[in-house]
Amino acid sequence: MSVVATTPPQLAVRTVPLRDGRDLLEHLPGDAPLAWVHRGDGLVAWGEAARFTWPGDDTGDGTQRFTAAARWLAGVASATEVADEVDLPGSGMVAFGGFTFDGRSAGSTLVIPRIVVGRRADRSWLTTIGDRRGAHPGEILASCTPARPIGPLTWTEGSIPAAEWEAAVATAVRHIRAGEIAKVVLARDVYARAERDIDVRTLLRRLTRDYPGCYTFSVDGMVGATPELLIRREGDGIGSLVLAGTRPRGTTPAEDERLAAELTGSAKDLEEHEYAIDSLRAALAPLAATVETPDRPRLLRLPNVQHLASPARATLHPGVSTLDVVAALHPTAAVGGTPTAAAVELIRDLEAMDRGRYAGPVGWIDAQGNGEWGIALRCAHIAGARARLFAGCGIVAGSTPEAELAEADSKFQVMRHALTD
């Protein structure tokens, strides 16, 4: 198995405080921006100093791409000279990454950019990454042009039409009721085409405006606003947010409360959520000294949907790497199913598409292992003038095809609105 990677002989990294009150996204040029933003804090970046790409065929236990990426990143870090005047998570050398949902798919990647601008609370910084000491990347001088509107769009069906997807849901329910599997998550895609290349910065600005509580990301063409935090790591401590169980928001306060009460009292959705919590506990048990989860989920309300949510915390054993944890947690029951192996096989049989990096881990990691990784949900893959949107639903014994199709349509709305001028 060959790994495609660009690695200069040595990188020279310098991080300095930045006294700049601009919004993070205002720093970005238009070409291939990288971003991870939450409530105004986070990281934006551009340029490329080094890249790791996994070619696919991860057919063993599904962790090879993570192990190879961690090994590559450690090798780059060991040959890197760092001058860091800020010393916060996200300063110094940073890589942005996205991993495919299925290990058999090509496209998992880590990118070390040339320029990074970061913000954490009231502190901002600038990181430059060059090929040698004293060399400043040319991209630092790039002018920041105004973000362009998207323009008219043409919409087309995705890999599987709605009626066929409903049939796939019905088939999944039969497997579940036969006792072959407890839960499976099935996804759909749709396509949009603009008249010219889509400016990712426009999507990022709309997503951060409309979904400030989500984690807005852009990594190698994958752009979205995910509510689901897979892992936040600082030192040996990690936090995670498990989401499973969904209703739309109501059009009136009374309808909103009715839908919330329906969700929190739904045996089907509570069952789906418990599968997700059990999956997280089982995955973290070999890696962590302690794992803490709440007794009952809380309600997380977003502008378009509301979820059952459970925050979790854990303390890792010494020597456990961040990508070890990401590999162990992926795929969660919230995006794959239960039991995992059987669910992934059923997804391959029923979805009629390659998810690529949809529902895979996306985020950033620094040289000390600090980082934030979410699940690539509420997102689209942008390639020139084309956008491929994704949405998925958790299928359990009580699922109905019509309700699941409506739920998927509600999840598409995040990126539909972001793409609409």
**What confidence tens digit (pLDDT) does each residue in 305-354 have?**
889 999 999 999 999 999 999 999 999 888 999 898 999 999 999 998 99
Tally DSSP H helices, then E strands, for the chain: 8, 24
Residue 236, Cβ neighbours under 10 Å: how many?
15
**What's the mean pLDDT when you consider all of the chain?**
91
Residue 364: beta bridge partners?
96, 372
For residue range 247-294, list pLDDT tens digits in order.
Answer: 888 989 999 999 999 999 999 889 888 888 888 888 899 999 999 998
Report the pLDDT value the prediction gives residue 3, as an integer from 0 to 100.
Answer: 67
CA dihedral for 363, 414, 358, 28, sign (positive or negative): negative
Q: How confident is the model at residue 138 (pLDDT cuts 50, 70, 90)?
A: low
Distance between CA 318 and CA 12 in Å, rounded?
28
The amino acid occupying position 272 is E
Per-residue pLDDT at 118 exceeds 80: yes
Predicted local confidence at residue 113, as pLDDT: 95
Using omega within 30 degrees of 0 as the cis cutoff, is the peptide bond preceding 339 cis? yes
Residues 401-411 have a mean pLDDT of 92
Active-site residue, 183 included: yes
Band of the pLDDT at 49, cuts 50, 70, 90?
A: very high
Instruction: Please tell me which residue in 26, 139, 195, 228 is annotated as part of the active site.
Output: 228
Q: Please state, for a pLDDT cut of 70, what percent of the chain lies above it.
A: 95
pLDDT in tens, 289-299: 999 998 889 99
Lowest mean pLDDT among 48-62, 208-222, 322-336, 373-387: 48-62
Q: What is the mean pLDDT of residues 145-164?
A: 94
> 228 catalytic, yes or no?
yes
Find out whether 313 and 371 touch, Cβ atoms under 8 Å.
no
Average the pLDDT over 70-88 and give the result.
Answer: 94
Q: How confident is residue 137, by pLDDT bands cut at 50, 70 and 90?
A: low
Lowest mean pLDDT among 102-106, 139-143, 412-416: 139-143
Residue 331's domain spans which residues?
4-419
HSE-CB of 339 using CA atoms within 13 angstroms: 4
Among 26, 81, 166, 183, the one annotated catalytic: 183
CATH number, domain with residue 318: 3.60.120.10
Beta strands in 114-170 (DSSP E): 115-120, 123-130, 153-157
**Element (H or E) spanning 243, and its range?**
strand 237-248
User: How many domains, the chain?
Assistant: 1
